[in-house]
Structure 1
Amino acid sequence: MEAPVLLWFRQDLRLADNPALHAAGGRPLLAVYVLDDAAAGAWAHGGASRWWLHHSLAALDAALRARGVALHLARGEAARIIPALAAQAGAAEVHAGRLLEPWARERDKAVHEALGGRLVLHTSATLHEPHAIRTGQGRPYTVYTPFARTLFARGEPAPPLPAPERLHGPDLPGLPLEALELLPRDEPQWWRGFAADWTPGEAGAQARIARFMAQALRGYGEGRNLPGTERTARLSPHLRFGEVSPRQVWHAARAAGAEGEDVFLKEILWREFSYHLLWHRPELPERPLDPRFAAFPFEPDDRLLRAWKAGRTGYPIVDAGMRQLWQTGWMHNRVRMVVASLLVKQLLQPWQAGAACFWDRLVDADLASNSASWQWIAGCGADASPYFRVFNPVLQGERFDPKGDYVRRWVPELARVPDRFVHKPWAAPDGPPAGYPAPIVPPERGRQRALAAYAAMRAAADPA
């Protein structure tokens, strides 16, 4: 009897364009997913991601069963479970998509050793292996634009691989999905509304791609900045869990051939750049890449942080974003920048605190993208937003949500405020509606506080 292959699903919860699955080559297959919170430590899935993972695993199991095998679920130390399952099944090889997080890289070394070198990793979550992209001087990239230019110059990614029609393999019963305890137990059950916005799983990802390419790719360059409209792809959680591959998305955009295509593909390359940074700078999630920012005079304040998390800052577009996040597990990208800028620059709260909140609440919480983007907005990362760029939440709202459609949807207290005051209700003749807070920091003070803090940081880093 032919020895089976153990396929270790991780960040590639799909059957189409799955290089690890393709490498099995029709041999008997044992499909496995292991929930290993201990190895991930602080970067174990947050609450919103766990909700998504629960439903994504259910969808993957159904897709596998339709082809002849079941998904074996396990919980615990993958460095012990994977070699044990391989031995039990008599697997000749273990195949998996490569993970790029520092903790996962360490775990893969342990599994590789325990298997006697029989762990085979494949490029699955990214277009290219991060270590394979280098500057002309042979160094990693630290600036996005030349990085993106290099990847465009490499030409088109290889075509996606088809999904197998039939699978077969050993039946080793695992845990029921409920035993992974992924659905959050918080009260109130804030995640109950997620299902109205999202369909986790490979089929849901393909449906969203088709809808976006047909309806919103044309004019994406401008439309992506308008949070009150449905003009973004909202593919980030599907990419995060590997329900769709980046090259599937890339080729779908190319096939659509609409205006806005390259702008959209640059978003895929920003994700790629974030993984490049995480691979070469594993401290990215916790420490500023720019060492000068170790001296930044943050003023941690639980009261300010709680108001920001609750969408009670008094700045309508910020409050709308935080409430959208709480109710849907997602936030429009333009609003993410404004929300983050207020927290870090005007309120002087550590960017790590904002990143931790997003990690728990986002269904697309991705260690590379989340960390790189927070460092960018704080001004301390690679290719970072300059320290003097302080997003004005009023002007941002007036420019990108001019009629207040986005704000009124998520902050119903402001439903009757006239358009001209919807982003600054304190300036309305009757003031803000009862119950809506005044700005947590006066508009004129926020930028001044930020610039003073940056000046103090520069003086501490370079006292001469």
Structure 2
Amino acid sequence: MNPSPVLCWLRRDLRLSDHATLSRAQQCGPVLAVFVFDPALLTGLPANDKRVAFICAALDEIRTRLRALGSELVVSYGDPQQQLPCIAQDCGARQLFFARDYEPMALARDAAITQILETQGVTVEAVKDQVVFEQDELLSKAGQPYTVFTPYARAWRAQLTPASYAAWPVKLESRYFAARDSLPAQWRGDEKPIAVPGFANANLAALTIQTGERGARALLQDFATRIARYGELRDYPARKGVSYLSAHLRFGTVSIRELVRLALEDGSAGAMVWLNELIWREFYQQWLWHFPEAEQTSFKPAYRNLVWPGEDSHFDAWCAGQTGYPLVDAAMRQLKLSGYMHNRLRMVAASFLVKDLLIDWQRGERYFASQLLDYDMAANCGGWQWAASTGCDAQPWFRIFNPVTQSQKFDADGHFIRRYVPELAVLDNKAIHAPWLAKTLPETFLLGRDYPAPIVEHASQREKALALFGR
């Protein structure tokens, strides 16, 4: 008689190495890995949503590896509150493990599922996996959550020990996983690629990065050769300076602990700058957990009742990459095409929407949420509120990015702009940053016909933003 399987519910941890949940589950019996496509998270997404395709590719890789061990990845479609109890009952499972999430909706869902399963006689255990420090593990000396990054980062580094980022071992041997042939037929899956009805999940052509744990490994190995120069190259979107691992970190095809180990083992100045970015991610995770209302409203109460005078037509132009500001437009087109936007450009594009177009940051946050392959609620809300001066930021509200000087500084030769705004490729390296200021333009190029004139004037909009935030 086969022993009862231990369910490992995969969510934001789509890998089979350095896996806290899987490692913990293996201590209790043969593991049956489970993934549930939740309609509540899929509703409203376009049929070609890149995130769904990325998830399916990662799951296909996991399933292939588990089947090679004689096991299975159970993939289910429906409300987890209904699906998980059914899987547990049908498969005779008496334990379920999952990695904690910190978003408001996820916390409510997990609490409800835990109650249902425990009523059914299934023991549920949540473990820490997607962060190094979670919840109340880092508090100020006064016992309060940090709301400014620098002291949080100082505390994070001070509390870090080798045990904090040690790998969770996973035994990839048949005897540590539930046998596929012991499962009820309805949970054994078929031979088709994993896909969600209504989504073009099997078509990965739209993805511009490698998927799954193997894709993460390849990117990590490549970045390890460049990490020392991260600090000097990270702000230049046309340079290969960043890790391109954000989507993999978001979906857990790589472990946060492995990334911390890479930074510390390298030890270069560039690696320490990159580690700081990983700490920013954790800062926003604990911030959203302590202040879940920040998902829906400005963190700073003074800005919760601002009346934003921006125009809908300007928001539409911003989304379409047709504002007349080349670097902003290039950034927005990169996002729409690839599901990715360079981090420096996220700040520039967000500042432009809020401080130049005078449009509520929440509209931009929602648009990014609909487009970003690496969308993470905590980082997205935190980043937008940082740009809008409404969130956790020690800098005052009068920080406003100038989209032209940002372009001149970080894309001096216009390489990035030419890639995503090809209609400007005929302009020289000076004119390409602000075509409306050029003394002469090529005869074949007409501003307003071939590329829009600026929809607003930065200097005057800056004054309006200062008046709006300063009142």
When normalised by structure 1's length, the TM-score is 0.92
Mapping of 1:155-170 within 5 angstroms? Answer: 155-156=160-161, 157-167=164-174, 168-169=177-178, 170=182
1:384-410 deviation line (CA, Å, top 9, x unaligned):
652100100000011111111111111
Specify which of 149, 155, 159 is matched with residue 154 of structure 2.
149
Give, in whole Å, the separation in 2 of the partners of 1:437 and 1:384.
Answer: 36
Following superposition, the deviation at residue 258 of structure 1 comes to: 2.9
Give, in whole Å, the separation in 1 of the partners of 2:40 and 2:139.
Answer: 33
Following superposition, the deviation at residue 67 of structure 1 comes to: 2.9
Amino acid across the alignment from 2:12 = Q
Amino acid across the alignment from 1:80 = Q
- Identity across aligned pairs (percent)? 37
> Which residue of structure 2 aligns with residue 323 of structure 1?
333
- 2:8 aligned with 1:7: yes
> Which residue of structure 2 aligns with residue 201 of structure 1?
212
- 2:133 aligned with 1:128: yes
1:33/1:73 contact within 8 Å kept: yes
Give, in whole Å, the separation in 1 of the partners of 2:109 and 2:204.
Answer: 33
- 2:311 aligned with 1:301: yes
Give, in whole Å, the separation in 2 of the partners of 1:25 and 1:335.
Answer: 43
Following superposition, the deviation at residue 334 of structure 1 comes to: 0.3
Q: Secondary structure at the match of 1:422?
A: helix
Q: Please, which runs of 5 or more residues in structure 1 have no aligned partner?
A: 457-464
Following superposition, the deviation at residue 144 of structure 1 comes to: 0.7
Mapping of 1:40-439 within 5 angstroms? Answer: 47-116=49-118, 118-156=123-161, 157-167=164-174, 168-169=177-178, 170-172=182-184, 173-174=186-187, 180-181=196-197, 183=199, 193-195=205-207, 197-214=208-225, 216-383=226-393, 385-431=395-441, 433-434=445-446, 435-439=450-454
1:35/1:76 contact within 8 Å kept: yes
Following superposition, the deviation at residue 430 of structure 1 comes to: 3.2
1:49/1:360 contact within 8 Å kept: no
Give, in whole Å, the separation in 2 of the partners of 1:208 and 1:356.
Answer: 28
* Change over 3 Å in CA distance of 1:270–1:49 after alignment to 2: same
* Change over 3 Å in CA distance of 1:43–1:371 after alignment to 2: farther
* Change over 3 Å in CA distance of 1:378–1:184 after alignment to 2: farther
Amino acid across the alignment from 1:398 = Q
* Change over 3 Å in CA distance of 1:387–1:411 after alignment to 2: same
Give, in whole Å, the separation in 2 of the partners of 1:192 and 1:301.
Answer: 36
1:193/1:328 contact within 8 Å kept: no
2:60/2:194 contact within 8 Å kept: no
Amino acid across the alignment from 2:215 = G
1:347-373 deviation line (CA, Å, top 9, x unaligned):
011111111111111100011101110
Give RMSD over aligned pairs.
2.3
Give, in whole Å, the separation in 1 of the partners of 2:143 and 2:48.
Answer: 36
Give, in whole Å, the separation in 1 of the partners of 2:63 and 2:237.
Answer: 35
Following superposition, the deviation at residue 84 of structure 1 comes to: 1.8
Give, in whole Å, the separation in 2 of the partners of 1:300 and 1:43.
Answer: 26
Following superposition, the deviation at residue 99 of structure 1 comes to: 1.0
Give, in whole Å, the separation in 2 of the partners of 1:346 and 1:278.
Answer: 27
* Change over 3 Å in CA distance of 1:446–1:48 after alignment to 2: farther
Following superposition, the deviation at residue 44 of structure 1 comes to: 12
Give, in whole Å, the separation in 2 of the partners of 1:410 and 1:40.
Answer: 29
Q: Secondary structure at the match of 1:449?
A: helix
Aligned residue pairs, count: 450
1:378/1:384 contact within 8 Å kept: no
Range with bigger deviation, 57-66 or 342-351: 57-66
When normalised by structure 2's length, the TM-score is 0.90
Q: Please, which runs of 5 or more residues in structure 2 have no aligned partner?
A: none
Give, in whole Å, the separation in 2 of the partners of 1:222 and 1:361.
Answer: 28
- 2:29 aligned with 1:22: no
2:54/2:204 contact within 8 Å kept: no
* Change over 3 Å in CA distance of 1:277–1:341 after alignment to 2: same
2:318/2:329 contact within 8 Å kept: yes
